């Protein structure tokens, strides 16, 4: 993946240098149309190479798209934050309830919840298999 990223960056750099070399001519970039800036006083125009104008327009477009998406997705971030806060609050409540109800306070409930012991006459299951009921192991 790192190699593909490097190839992409090198190709992009080559394209940008080629655009810059092909568009070295000087252009005048005006802030207002048709001498409107003279009424405001000062010179509202700047002379720049064409490739710089292209790159600045691209960068400003990317910045405008970033801000637009950030504003458009603000309700999603707000909703995620609300759900995260609610989940944390519910987890705290569950932890509190587990701690509070960990052991029964009533003796009757403790007797009911205690596992039942096997009656005296019945055999008790053991983890070991009974003798003679296992298959012989292969050699």
Distance from C-alpha of 110 to C-alpha of 103, rounded to nearest angstrom: 8
Of the ranges 21-25, 34-38, 100-104, which is most confident?
21-25
116 backbone dihedrals φ, ψ, rounded to 5°: -80, 140
What residues does each domain of the chain span? 9-92
The tokens of 89 are what? 């609050």
Q: Collapse the DSSP code of 26 into the 3-class scheme (helix H, G, I; strand E, B; otherwise coil) and give the result.
A: strand
| pLDDT tens digits along 94-123 | 988 887 777 656 667 667 766 666 566 666
**According to the model, what pLDDT value does residue 71 have?**
96
Tell me if the pTM is above 0.85. Answer: no
The burial class, CB within 10 Å (0-12 / 13-18 / 19+), for 12 is: exposed
| Distance in angstroms between the alpha carbons of the first and the last residue of the chain | 51
């Amino acid at each position: 993946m790192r190699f593909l990223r490097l190839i992409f960056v090198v190709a992009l750099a080559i394209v940008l240098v080629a655009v810059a070399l092909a568009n070295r001519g000087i252009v005048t970039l005006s802030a207002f149309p048709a001498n409107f800036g003279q009424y405001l006083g000062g010179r509202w125009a700047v002379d720049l190479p064409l490739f710089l104008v292209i790159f600045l327009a691209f960068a400003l477009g990317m910045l405008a798209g970033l801000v637009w998406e950030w504003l458009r997705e603000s309700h999603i971030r707000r909703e995620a934050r609300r759900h995260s806060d609610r989940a944390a609050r519910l987890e705290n409540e569950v932890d509190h309830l587990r701690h509070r109800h960990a052991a029964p306070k009533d003796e009757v409930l403790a007797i009911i919840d205690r596992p039942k012991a096997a009656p005296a006459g019945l055999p008790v299951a053991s983890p070991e298999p009974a003798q003679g009921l296992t298959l012989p192991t292969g050699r």
